[in-house]
């Protein structure tokens, strides 16, 4: 969670279409779309291609169900090929994020005490 996932897609040109796009997304995230769409690229008949897309995985992804679906599709203006893969997502066991740090004063002289309050969020 809170990281980047790299999606590698291998495809081969069939001669039917030449200008295509690639889209990858994770369904089920409540707050926003987790998706990436490539620029249009040319595919030639009989040639194999490797394309890489990255998805930013949010820190607040609900992992209580542990499963999400990764959708990958290659498409053009007339057709599309779609694939779906089950992802098993786990949260790190020990993950603390510092949300805020409050200091009692702006400056401290030698021998004086400084009061510090730290607000943490346990995400693990």
Question: What is the pLDDT of the chain when averaged over all its residues?
Answer: 88
Domain ranges within the chain, ordered by starting residue:
4-88
Q: Hey, which CATH number is domain 4-88, 3.40.50.2000, 2.60.40.1710, 3.30.930.10, 2.60.40.1150?
A: 2.60.40.1710
Global pTM reads 0.69
Residue 60 DSSP class: T
Per-residue pLDDT tens digits for 52-100: 999 998 888 877 776 889 999 999 988 899 999 998 877 666 678 889 9
The rounded distance, in Å, linking the Cα atoms of 117 and 121 is: 13
Q: Which of 68, 11, 12 is nearest to 35 (CA)?
A: 68
- Taking the C-alpha atoms of residue 46 and residue 79, their distance in angstroms, rounded to an integer, is 18
């Amino acid at each position: 969670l809170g990281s980047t996932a790299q999606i590698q897609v291998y495809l081969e040109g069939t001669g039917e279409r030449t200008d295509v796009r690639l889209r990858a997304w994770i369904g089920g995230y409540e707050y926003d779309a987790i998706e990436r769409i490539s620029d249009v690229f040319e595919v030639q008949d009989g040639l194999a291609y490797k394309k890489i897309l990255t998805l930013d995985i949010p820190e607040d992804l609900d992992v209580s169900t542990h499963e999400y679906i990764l959708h990958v599709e290659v498409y053009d203006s007339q057709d599309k090929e779609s694939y779906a893969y089950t992802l098993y997502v786990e949260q790190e066991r020990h993950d603390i994020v510092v949300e805020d740090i409050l200091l009692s004063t702006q400056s401290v002289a030698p021998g004086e005490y400084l009061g510090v309050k730290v607000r943490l969020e346990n995400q693990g």
